[in-house]
C-alpha cells in the first residue's frame, strides 16, 4: 500500500431536497496518503446501504450528520490491509464504518469481527448484521412475537423486513407483507415465505388488511411512518403491539408522519415501543451465535440485492429511497 | 317503597358544545313506578363524577352514550331497598350503574358488592373504586413503577391522580404533580405527598420539568392529552414509560390531541401503553384485598371532594371539566 494508489470516494455534493438524486453525490479519486499512527487501514469489500442514511445526509440522524464535501457515512465489511495491531492482522475480515470509499483508516476500537464461520461475509451487513439485529430486537425482544400473531411488515423485502418476516414465521405467526410491484410480491411470497402480500400502490391498504386480517393485526413493525402507520394502527386487534423503528417517508424530508390519535392507542390497549438498534449492540454476539448456524444451514433467506461497484452506490441509494429496491441493498466494492 | 314516591333524576337537556354548562342538564322528579320483575331496586347513596362522562354525554364513549332526555349515566354506591333476590337482600351496600337519580332498578348481574370492612363506602368510588383501580393498572401493572422512577401525574389531585401518586411513592419513586392554583398545590404537596408540584397555568411546564426532573421523566401517566402530553413526552428519559389513559382536554370537544411525533417515541426508546380500566375488572378483588386494609389503617389518603345533594351534580360536573375540582368528586345523594 503506498501513496500512489487512489482511493475512490463518494462525497455529498449538496444536501438533497426531498428524494435524493444522483447529482447530490460526487465521485472523487483521492490520493491515498500514509496511514495515520495506530490506525488500521481497511479495504472495503461490501458496503451497506440503508434508509436511515437519508437522515444522516440531511444532517440530523441521532445527533450526527454528513456535510457537503464529506464522504458519505456507511457501514461495510472490509479486509485489513495495513496494521500493526496483533488483534487485527492483515487479512482479517471486519465490520467498520468505512463510509463510501475504497479504503478507510480506523481506530482499533471501531472495528468488529465478522462472525466466524460465515461463508458469505456480506451477510454481516444484512440478515446477520444491523438489519437482522434490528429485526430481532423488534420482533423478538420488544413485540415478543408468538404463535397465532398476525404480523404486518412494510418495506417487506428490505433488510429489516426480510429477517423480521422469517423470525415471525419461525415463531408461528401469520405474516403480511406490504410492498409494491410484481417482483417484490413474488419475493415476499415465494422467497421470504410471507403468508399474504398487499401492494401498497395497487391496493387499498385498509380494505386489503380487513380481508387478510379479519380479526385484526396483533403486531405491526413500523419502518415507514405515515400513511401506513396510521392505517395499520386502525386495524390493530385489542392489545396489539407496535414497534416504531423507522420513518422512511419522513427521511426524504417532504413528508411529516403524525401517527394515529393517542385515543386510538387507548382504545386498542396498544403497546407501542420505540426501537433504536444501537441499544442492542450488547446482544449482538448472542444474536450471531443463534443465527449464523441457521444461515449456514440454509435455513434463512438473506435476500440481498448486490450492486456492482462503488460508483453505482448513489443510484442504488436513490432507488432505495423511492422503495425501488427488491432486497437488502449491498454494494460490492472489492473482492 | 311505593308509587307515591318521586325519583329525582338529572337528565341530559342537550348535548354540550365545548365545556358543559349547567343548562345542558335538567332535573326531573319522575314518579317511581313499580319495580320491574327480577330487578333489584337501589337507593343511591354516593354518585361518582368522572371526566370520562363528558364523552358519554357527547354520545361516543367506547361505543355507548347518553341521548338528550336520558338520565345521565354514572356509577354509584347504593343501598338495596327492594329485592326478592337472596343474594342481594334489602340493606345490602352495592356498586351499580344507577345513573344520576335517587332510585334505580338493576338486574342482579349489574350489581357488585362494596368491599367488606369498608367503613367509608364512598371509597368504593374513589381510591378503592374505578379511579383507584385505574391508578393501579397504570402505575403498577403497566408502568411497573419502581424505586428511582421520576413520575409525572397531571390532574394530580383528582381521583386517579391521587391514588397514582400514592402508589408511586410507596414504590419509592419521586412524584411530580401538574395542577393549578394554590389550594390544589397545597393538597398535592401536603396531603398527597407529592415531591414537587408544577402549576400548569402560572408556570412554563417545559422549564419547570427541566428544573425538577433534570435527568428526565421516567414515567408519565397521561390523563389529559395535549398540550401536556407532548410537552412531558419531550422530557422523557431514555426508556421512559407512558401510560395513555385519558384525554380530558379532548372530551370537551373543542380540542384535538395529536401527541408527539412518532420519531420522539423512537428517540426516547419509549414504551407507550393504552389503558382502559374495564379490562382490569378481573383484578379488582385482588386490588381491593390489598388496599382496603391500608385505607382502613389510615395509610391512604382518599382526597374526596364531597358534593351535597344530587341537584348539585350538574354544577360539580361542569367544574370538574374545567379542572376546578380539588379532589375525586363524589355526590352525596342519600344517607
Residues in B lying within 8 Å of A, measured between beta carbons: 62, 222, 225, 229, 244-245, 247, 250, 256-259, 261-276, 279
For position A63, what pLDDT does the model report? 67
Average pLDDT of chain B is 94
Quick one: average pLDDT of A226-249? 94
Q: Which residue has the higher pLDDT, B51 or A212?
A: A212
Same domain, A163 and A193: yes
Give B-chain residues touching A279 at CB under 8 angstroms: 269
* Candidates A266, A268, A270, A281, partner chain B, best to mutate (most B CBs within 10 A): A266
Q: CB B270 to CB A271 under 8 A? A: no
On whether the CB atoms of residues A270 and A244 are closer than 8 A, the answer is no
Residue A192 phi/psi, 5° resolution?
-95, -5
pLDDT band at B257 (very low <50, low <70, confident <90, very high): confident
Residue A15 lies in a domain: yes
In a domain, residue A285? The reply is no
CATH code, domain with B95: 3.90.180.10
Range of the domain at B45: 6-126+303-332
Interface of A with B (CB under 8 A): 62, 222, 225, 229, 244-245, 247, 250, 256-259, 261-276, 279
How many Cα atoms occupy the beta-carbon half-sphere of B49 within 13 Å? 30
pLDDT digits (tens, 9 = 90+) for B151-172: 999 999 999 999 999 999 999 9
Nearest residue in chain B measured CA to CA from A250 = B263
Contact A274 B266 (CB under 8 A): yes
> What whole-number distance in Å separates Cα of residue A165 and Cα of residue A192?
7
Q: Is residue B285 part of a domain?
A: no
State the best of B230, B248, B266, B279 to mutate against chain A, taking most chain A CBs within 10 Å.
B266
Average pLDDT over residues A198-209: 97
Percent of chain B topping pLDDT 90? 86
Based on the fold, state whether residues B59 and B189 are members of the same structural domain.
no
Of A261, A268, A279, the CB nearest to B257: A261
For residue B287, is it within any domain?
no
Q: Which residue of B has its CA nearest to A279?
A: B269
In this structure, are A139 and A115 located in the same domain?
Answer: no
Within a domain: A299: no
Among candidates B257, B269, B274 on the partner chain, residue whose Cβ is nearest the Cβ of A276: B269
Report the alpha-carbon distance of residue A232 to residue B7 in Å, rounded.
48
State whether A62 and B267 contact (CB < 8 Å): yes
Tell whether A110 and A150 lie within a shared domain: no
Give the pLDDT confidence score for residue B117 in this predicted structure: 83
Q: What is the CATH number of the domain that holds A271?
A: 3.40.50.720
Residue range B96-115: mean pLDDT, rounded: 96
Give mean pLDDT, residues A111-129: 93
**B273 and A272: CB-CB below 8 Å?**
yes
Backbone angles phi and psi of A274, in degrees to 5: -85, 135
CB atoms within 10 A of CB B45: 23
| In-domain check, residue B284 | no
When the pLDDT of each residue in chain A is averaged and rounded to a whole number, the result is 94
Specify the number of domains making up chain A.
2
Contacts of A259 in chain B (CB under 8 A): 259, 261-262
Same domain, yes or no: A149 and A232 = yes
Pair (A239, A145) in one structural domain: yes
CA-nearest residue to A270 within chain B is B274
Q: Give the cell for residue A257.
A: 408522519
| CA–CA gap between residue A97 and residue B218 (Å, rounded) | 33
| pTM metric for this prediction | 0.91
Given a cut of 80, is residue A213 above it in pLDDT?
Answer: yes
One domain, residues A11 and A25: yes
Do A251 and A152 share a structural domain? Answer: yes
Q: With contacts defined as CB-CB under 8 Å, which chain A residues touch B279? A: 269
- The residue assigned the cell 395497487 is A202
CA closest to B256 among chain A residues: A261
Residues of A in contact with B225 (CB under 8 A): 262
Q: Which residue has the higher pLDDT, B45 or A258?
A: B45
Q: Can the peptide bond before residue B82 be classed as cis, meaning omega within 30 degrees of 0?
A: no
- Residues B27, B113, single domain; the answer is yes
Distance (Å, whole) CA A76 – CA A85: 20
Same domain, B42 and B85: yes
Q: Provide the pLDDT for residue B252.
A: 73
* B197 shares its domain with B247: yes
Say yes or no for a CB contact (<8 Å) between B272 and A269. Answer: no
- Decide: A177 and A183 in contact? Cβ < 8 Å: no
Name the β-bridge partners of A271. Answer: A241, B273
How many Cβ contacts (< 8 angstroms) between chains A and B? Answer: 88
Question: Mind listing the pLDDT tens digit for each residue in A144-176?
Answer: 999 999 999 999 999 999 999 999 999 999 999
Mean pLDDT of the A57-73 span: 85
Q: Which residues from chain A sit within 8 angstroms of residue B259, using beta carbons?
A: 259, 261-262
Q: How far does the CA of residue B32 sit from the closest CA of chain A (Å)?
A: 37
Question: Is the residue at B292 inside a domain?
Answer: no
A245 located within any domain = yes
Measured in angstroms, the CA of B239 and the nearest CA of chain A are apart by 9
Same-domain status, B198 and B315 = no
Nearest Cα to A106, choosing from A118, A114, A94, A115?
A94
Q: Which residues contact B61 (CB under 8 A, 6 or more apart)?
A: B52, B53, B55
Are A261 and B256 inside 8 Å of each other by CB? yes
pLDDT at B314: 97
Segment B55-60 mean pLDDT: 84
Which of B258, B264, B271 lies nearest to residue A273, judging by beta carbons? B271
CB contact under 8 A, A273 and B272: yes
Amino acid at each position: 500500500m503506498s501513496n500512489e494508489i487512489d482511493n475512490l470516494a463518494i462525497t455529498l455534493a449538496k444536501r438533497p431536497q426531498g428524494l435524493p438524486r444522483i447529482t447530490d453525490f460526487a465521485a472523487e479519486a483521492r490520493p491515498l496518503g500514509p496511514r495515520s499512527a495506530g490506525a488500521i487501514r481497511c479495504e472495503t469489500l461490501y458496503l451497506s446501504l440503508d434508509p436511515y442514511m437519508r437522515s444522516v445526509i440531511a444532517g440530523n440522524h441521532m445527533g450526527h450528520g454528513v456535510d457537503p464535501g464529506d464522504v458519505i457515512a456507511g457501514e461495510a465489511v472490509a479486509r485489513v490491509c495495513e496494521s500493526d495491531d496483533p488483534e487485527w492482522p492483515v487479512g482479517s475480515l471486519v465490520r467498520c464504518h468505512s463510509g463510501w470509499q475504497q479504503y478507510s483508516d480506523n481506530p482499533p476500537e471501531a472495528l468488529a469481527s465478522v462472525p466466524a464461520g460465515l461463508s458469505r461475509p456480506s451477510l454481516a451487513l444484512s440478515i446477520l448484521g444491523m438489519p437482522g439485529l434490528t429485526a430481532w430486537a423488534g420482533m423478538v425482544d420488544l413485540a415478543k412475537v408468538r404463535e397465532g400473531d398476525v404480523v404486518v411488515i412494510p418495506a417487506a423485502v428490505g433488510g429489516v423486513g426480510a429477517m423480521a418476516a422469517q423470525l415471525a414465521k419461525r415463531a408461528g405467526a401469520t405474516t403480511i407483507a406490504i410492498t409494491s410491484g410484481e417482483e417484490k410480491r413474488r419475493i415476499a411470497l415465494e422467497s421470504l415465505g410471507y403468508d399474504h402480500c398487499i401492494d401498497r400502490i395497487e391496493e387499498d391498504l385498509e380494505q386489503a388488511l380487513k380481508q387478510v386480517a379479519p380479526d385484526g393485526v396483533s403486531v405491526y413493525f413500523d419502518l415507514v411512518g405515515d400513511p401506513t402507520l396510521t392505517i395499520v394502527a386502525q386495524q390493530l386487534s385489542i392489545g396489539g403491539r407496535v414497534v416504531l423503528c423507522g420513518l422512511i417517508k419522513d427521511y426524504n424530508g417532504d413528508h411529516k408522519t403524525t401517527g394515529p390519535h393517542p385515543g386510538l392507542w387507548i382504545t386498542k390497549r396498544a403497546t407501542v415501543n420505540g426501537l433504536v438498534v444501537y441499544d442492542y449492540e450488547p446482544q449482538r454476539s448472542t444474536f450471531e451465535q443463534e443465527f449464523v448456524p441457521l444461515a449456514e444451514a440454509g435455513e434463512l433467506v438473506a435476500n440481498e440485492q448486490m450492486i456492482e461497484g462503488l460508483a453505482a452506490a448513489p443510484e442504488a441509494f436513490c432507488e432505495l429511497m423511492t422503495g425501488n429496491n427488491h432486497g437488502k441493498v449491498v454494494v460490492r466494492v472489492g473482492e
